[in-house]
Structure 1
Amino acid sequence: MTAPVAEIAVSLESPAWVEALPDIEARVQSLVQLALAGVPDDVPDGPLELSVVLADDETVRALNRDWRGKDAPTNVLSFAALDDEEAPLVEGAPLLLGDVILAWETVAAEAAESGRPLADHFSHLVIHGVLHLLGFDHQDEDEAAEMEGLETRLLASLGISDPYQDEDDRR
């Protein structure tokens, strides 16, 4: 399967991302394309547009507080434009999927805590965030199983192990 044409804006708000993963912008581009190509039945026709913001905990904490009522940082937030039923659709213009925002300190700490390479954990979270933009969710067991299964298959295509496996099973 091939991904639809997508304009992917990458915003580097925290220099720590580039220090840890020097190829981060190219990595984001390829991960987003992989996620879009991996779900052909769910991807709308036509050109797409989305942004990935590589931020810090402070930025993500403020967004999480203001939009979700949770005054704490989290690893990734997704703001899906497709959730906005009043969003204008302009014929011929790219369809805005939304924004994925990642928090440097939280993502790095989670990777270290789990013993997973930062690049692998980052890859998982970018794919996870993009799938949210496409309408995937994990609010109930069936939705979670579908989303996690898709994430696991996409990551496996990159040689990355199942992020949902128990740590003991990974060793």
Structure 2
Amino acid sequence: MTALDIVEEDPRWADLDLQTRAETAIVACLKHLDIDPDASEITILACDDARIADLNADFRGKPTPTNVLSWPADERGAAQDGGKPLPIDPDFDGMLELGDIAISYDTCAAEARAAGKSMADHVTHLIIHGTLHLLGYDHERDADATLMEGIEIEILGKLGLDNPYREDAAQ
């Protein structure tokens, strides 16, 4: 992936090698969907709960921390519940500007502990989840959620990671 920019506001992210982890997750996601990773641009803000709570308040009206937020460069959501998102149009130089992701260390670490999984595996899942949002996938409607979760499970499986949506996944 040639155009991945990571801004690490929280120094705790350095121990996770977020650059490598994010590249692996994003490339797996894009290749799974037949999108050229080398022509794609994504920026990731690696922050803490205070910063993501501010962003969540500003952009979603929810003044609480969350694990991951995504801002697609363009609205690509499917009109029909369970439908495929709109295709991505390259910009003038052939690049696919996908958008921005913010991810909170505090919430990710707490969720990983609660689910009994490694922080690395959980972050991989959330980067894939955020990337799918950039591509127009969502989970607000039932069929959209089923489609998005199915894609996440397939990509995670290819990376050797468990299905995070299994009933017993948090035990």
Structure 1-normalised TM-score?
Answer: 0.85
Q: Within 5 A, what are the aligned runs for 1:135-150?
A: 135-150=136-151
In the other structure, the counterpart of 1:120 is: 121
Q: Within 5 A, what are the aligned runs for 1:11-30?
A: 11-19=7-15, 21=16, 23-30=17-24
In the other structure, the counterpart of 2:159 is: 158
Shift of 1:50: 1.0
In the other structure, the counterpart of 2:54 is: 62
- 1:72 equivalent in alignment to 2:84: no
- 1:31 equivalent in alignment to 2:31: no
In the other structure, the counterpart of 1:10 is: 6
Q: Within 5 A, what are the aligned runs for 1:31-110?
A: 31-40=25-34, 43=35, 47-83=39-75, 90-110=91-111
Distance in 2 (CA, whole Å) between partners of 1:46 and 1:114 is: 33
Distance in 1 (CA, whole Å) between partners of 2:69 and 2:134 is: 10
**Letter paired with 1:71:** P
Shift of 1:95: 2.8
Is the Cα contact below 8 Å between 1:75 and 1:102 reproduced in 2?
yes
In the other structure, the counterpart of 1:130 is: 131
**Letter paired with 1:9:** D
Q: Unpaired runs of 5+ in structure 1? A: none
Runs in 1 of length 4+ with deviation above 6 angstroms? Answer: none
RMSD (Å) for aligned C-alpha atoms: 2.2
**Letter paired with 1:99:** D
Distance in 1 (CA, whole Å) between partners of 2:2 and 2:135 is: 13
Shift of 1:24: 2.1
**Letter paired with 1:50:** I
